[in-house]
Amino acid sequence: MKFFKSRLLFIVLSLCVANPGYAKIYYSKQEAMQLAFGEGAEIDMLSLFPKPDQVKRIEALARVKLDSPLFTFYVGKKAGEILGYAAIETRNVRTKPETLLIVLTAQGKLSQVQTLAFHEPPEYQPPERWYAQLFNLSLEELSFGAGVQGISGATLSTRAGLDSVRKVLAIYQVIVAEQP
């Protein structure tokens, strides 16, 4: 796991050096966890390995392919109570990645989306208010035309963000919510 994390950090930093004009890193992982759960929260990692039948259900709900057999939620806790779940999702927008922090409540509802890093031109980055429209929508409503307004000139960025949010919600619904 440490190898994977260090390799991911190396890739992200390499992309920043390769194209310093557009690369923008807003928050570190530690800062992201504070954004998600507040100061002083205990953070546990929940590593999930979906079974083949779960992968099919997740992909059907999310309408995206899972690119890895491993998924990690960060579980925020205070005084033994679960505050919520966070996922860090990296996805290529056009040719360069964006990394989002996607936070769910303890009940699995979307409560926050923050851009942690964005490597495309800044004019293609969806603003926080765009992500805010997603907060009260069901998984079925998270698509353009059904409940989500697009942004002219940032279609690929908003599509990538929407795909990431649906993926996280689907994984929560299929694996975490069904655990005893």
Distances (CA, A) of 49 to 45, 58, 89, 142, 144: 13, 12, 16, 25, 30
Dist. CA 171–CA 73, nearest whole Å: 10
What ranges do the domains of the chain cover?
22-176
- What does the pLDDT average to over 18-36? 82
The pTM of the full predicted model, rounded to 2 decimals, is 0.84
Beta bridge partners of 97: 92
* From 19-33, 73-87, 113-127, the region with the lowest mean pLDDT: 19-33
CB 62 within 8 A of CB 170: yes
Would you say residue 130 has pLDDT above 90? no
* pLDDT at 4 (0 to 100): 47
Joined together, the tokens standing for residue 165 give: 């949010």
* pLDDT at 104 (0 to 100): 97
149 versus 9: which is more confidently predicted? 149
- What does the pLDDT average to over 99-105? 96
* From 10-14, 19-23, 30-34, 43-47, the region with the lowest mean pLDDT: 10-14
Beta bridge partners of 88: 101
